A and B are shown apart, each in its own frame.
Chain A
Amino acid sequence: MKSITSIIPFGLIGIFYLSIFVSCEEAALPINDDGTPLNVDTVSFPVINTMTYQTPPTMGGTEYLYFGEKDDYDYLYNLLEFDSLAIGGGYPFEYYNDSLIIADSMKLTLRFISDTIDINTQFQLRFFPQNGDSVFNEFETNYMNFDPSLASEVISQAEMVTDSIDSVNTKVTLNFLIDTTVINVFKDTTIINFNRSFLVELKDNVSSEFKFHSSELGGGDGPELKVYYRTLLSDTVVTDTSYRTYTALEDLSVIKPPLITSDDTTYLSIGTAKGLKSLVLVDMKGWVLPKRSVIKSAQLILNRVQADTITGFSVNSYPLTKEGLYSTFLSYEFDPYKVENNLMASSTIVNNMLKINHRRFSREIGRDGRNNYGFKLQSSSNNDPFTIINFYTLGNIDYYPVMRVIYVKP
């Protein structure tokens, strides 16, 4: 009995100290700001150089494929490249070389943006049997660096037709039927990774605009290529007829822009279809971000010239990798300004003011001493490519461009 009573107190003390390590949340004490660390600091950097330049327009990322002409823009032709595998995987074109599989025809379909046809016209299709594995690049090809004469003769012609989706809804499509001579080229295994590319154009010049869904249109019906085939049990017995669908990997409209206007050159201008881009150089020389600090925002601020309301127009800004040539307006055949894509910042115009937060790049300047060559501004691919935005330049005393940085320091 004595041994039990001597153990109990020590056991109880053990339980007692187990309760020590439970903690609680407590209410914050309000204190005076005096003498406490952490402060907000601000700094404004002037924009010291700006320039607008033009390159041949590349329309690879746009949501529509354009045919015809509008507002002096000349839509020359459209280029399409299809996937090597069917939707759901498998079925490369070599699949149709099997002696028991016969590919009878192909159909290339484009979806028109409207459900009705106001004006119809003839379209024609060509392909590139002599161009190996690559014909064009969605983000580089333009009317100045691509030769459409590389394409074949016309392999199919079509007009838009109306299809019924159900008893109420319809859709308008452009369907090119392609015969076995083209299929034979596609499935020819002596050509490694054949380009599977087509050129679509109007048969005749038309002064109207026709817009079709591109593969970039969210929720849209991008270009499709269907291969219809039969599967044979033997040389004479057909067991099945079916088709496989191939979606577009790349598609773009090749267009020729109108002439440059005085607004394009007077202001900082951007616009995809006209190939307008701008450079902005901010003087951040000698700036050091205090140790352990974090940038809340480093906003490059530009004010729009046009007074009308614009919504959802997005501008991309990229740090340059080399010094820009800041002079009067220049046109280039190739864009000479490479950029840091991973440091891209983007923002939409709100109340005719653009504020692009370049804090990642500013941090590298302020902390790591990175060279600042300026920023390239260009329209986002989600915008209407034909919209041109003009921003005020250094000359305006009220709406001059500037960069404003807000940061927190210990």
Chain B
Amino acid sequence: MLSLRVLLIINFSFTYAYTQSVFNSYGLGLNRTSYHTSVNGAGSIGLVPTFHPGVSMENVATWPGLNYTFISGSYSNQLFANEKRNVSNQAAGFSKIQFIIPILDRYGFGLSLKPLNNHNSFFTTDTSTIQYEGNNYTTNKEFRSGGGIMSGSFGFSFPINKNMGLGFSYNYLFGSSRDEQSMVINNTYYRLFNIRTYQGSTYKVDLGAKLFSNNKSSLLAFASIELTDKPVYGKLYQFDLFEDINNNYAFDANDYPGEVGVDTIGVNNIYAPSSFSLGFNISLKNSLNIFSEYQLWNDEANNINYASIYNDQVGSKNHIGVGLIRFGNQMERDWQDRITFRSGIYKDIYELRYSGKSIIENGLSLGFGFKFAATGNQIDLSFRNGSRYIDRSNKELFREFTVGISVGDVWFLRRRAKQ
């Protein structure tokens, strides 16, 4: 009944898509650092265990540590607020769907679907007046965009020895986005559209290792390398400007000119991410874990013809974060001891390729997980709060609340022999 209530609350509370941001209009936008609720709650990038002792849902190498097969979903509600302009937006959408099967405590196999980035933005410029030959023309601009790249992944993991495991995942990238740009002159809209499609693939190798262990503590190390298999390519449909006389957002027979031309351009090398990540986790008594993570991420693609609303794009990112996790024990009598507590702080520094400017994001995360039922079903909640800005201007405050539900079942697990 608990799960039913939670799902109904989710159904009625979150009925919006990802919220918009000016930062989504730099190239492909800001790629998310984490997707699963348990990872969000710790402010992690998914290397270190956050879901279950020894297991991160985003580190393939750790999947054999799961006790059950899991189907899991995470759903986020975001609130973005522009501090200077006193404008806020709120929206929600799924951040990950995942299915993981641990096999005989040694292997793991999983499928997932997640949005890599988000193009959702809607902004206007201030009104200005142009004087031309004695006439005044009042102008402003409006921009809207949406869509982005999805990642469909499969991964498998296997042991190297009793203290080390390796994971491999292949990510198929696909999707589309569009943007609409409008110049408003004396209340008449002049619009153009761009539509983009995406297709490509990456692969990732995860490593997990137990470096040290005694009955008081243990030290775990994790590393991950992501490389591009096929740089994202696609088609760009560029429509000409038209006067939207009836202001219905679409080109029709009432608009000027009578026909709108469209250029269809095949574009290669749109997005080619590579990253190296490193993380350490110290497990102490009472299931207390302290972790730190570092990630260096680069987008090697440099096709300027695929420009977004802003003629710039994110070229690299540095992430550093630390956090604390206390895993709950389902066998404990007190309900408080069954709760997993997660907390972390992080800093992301995005470098824009052409302007050389930096987008700096600082965040603080807090999360809880609660196990129920015999197969380790888990409900996770996370809250993230922070800010991002360019050159100290255009500061955006964000809050993200994520709910995840993971339902377990018994598949391919080693069972005890009957006595």
Contact = CB atoms under 8 A, between A and B. Distances in A.
A35 B311 contact: yes
B73 A16 contact: yes
Interface in A15-47: 15-17, 19-20, 22-24, 26-33, 35-40, 42, 44
Contacts of A31: 22, 123-125, 394
A29 B123 contact: yes
A410 B183 CA distance: 10
27 contacts: A10-B407, A12-B4, A16-B11, A17-B73, A19-B10, A22-B17, A23-B16, A23-B17, A24-B15, A29-B85, A29-B89, A29-B123, A29-B124, A30-B85, A30-B126, A36-B143, A38-B190, A38-B192, A40-B139, A44-B133, A292-B192, A293-B241, A296-B185, A296-B190, A359-B256, A406-B137, A410-B241
A28 B311 CA distance: 20
A107 interface: no
Nearest to A26: B89
A70 interface: no
B137 A9 contact: no
A38 B71 CA distance: 47
Contacts of B87: 27-30
B310 A20 contact: no
Contact of A29 (B75, B82, B312): B82
Contacts of A171: none
Contacts of B241: 292-294, 408-410
B17 A33 contact: no
Interface stretch (B53-61, B90-98, B154-162, B318-326): B90-98
B126 A13 contact: no
B130 A6 contact: no
Task: Provide the main secondary structure of the chain B interface.
Answer: strand
Contacts of B91: 23-24, 26
B90 to A, nearest CB: 8
A15 B12 CA distance: 11
A37 B181 contact: yes
A406 B188 CA distance: 13
B122 interface: yes
Given A13-B71, A20-B94, A28-B124, 17 more contacts: A6-B409, A16-B10, A19-B10, A24-B15, A28-B123, A29-B20, A29-B85, A29-B87, A30-B85, A30-B126, A35-B312, A38-B181, A292-B238, A294-B243, A294-B257, A408-B185, A408-B190
Contacts of B261: 292
Contacts of A226: none
B357 to A, nearest CB: 10
A365 to B, nearest CB: 13
A36 B190 contact: no
A33 B405 CA distance: 43
A60 B409 CA distance: 89
Interface string B93-132: 1100100000000000000000000000111111010101
Nearest to B188: A296
A294 B240 CA distance: 8
Nearest to A23: B17
B137 to A, nearest CB: 7
Nearest to A301: B133
A125 to B, nearest CB: 47
A408 B183 contact: yes
Nearest to A9: B407
The interface centre, meaning the residue of A9, A32, A44 with most chain B CB atoms within 10 A of its CB, is: A9
B377 interface: yes
A24 B4 contact: no
B3 interface: yes
B7 interface: yes
B309 interface: yes
Interface of B: 3-4, 7, 10-11, 14-17, 19-22, 71, 73, 75, 82, 85, 87-91, 93-94, 97, 121-126, 128, 130, 132-133, 137, 139, 141-143, 181-183, 185, 188, 190, 192, 238-243, 256-257, 261, 309-312, 377, 394, 405, 407, 409
Contact of A42 (B17, B132, B141): B132
A230 interface: no
Contacts of B238: 292
A244 interface: no
A363 interface: yes
A294 B193 CA distance: 13
A211 interface: no
Contacts of A296: 185, 188, 190, 243
Contacts of B182: 38
Contact of A17 (B97, B181, B243, B310): B97
Contacts of B256: 294, 359
B190 A16 contact: no
A23 B97 CA distance: 19
A263 B75 CA distance: 79
Interface string A287-330: 00000111010000000000000000000000000000000000
A26 B377 contact: no
A294 B97 contact: no
A209 to B, nearest CB: 42
A380 to B, nearest CB: 22
A14 to B, nearest CB: 10
Contacts of A33: 125-126, 128, 141
Interface string A124-159: 000000000000000000000000000000000000
Interface in A167-214: none
B257 A363 contact: yes
A44 B132 CA distance: 10
B68 to A, nearest CB: 12
Nearest to B120: A26
A63 B97 CA distance: 74
A293 B239 CA distance: 10
Contacts of B130: 40
Contacts of A27: 87-89, 122
Contact of B132 (A6, A8, A404): A404
B104 to A, nearest CB: 22
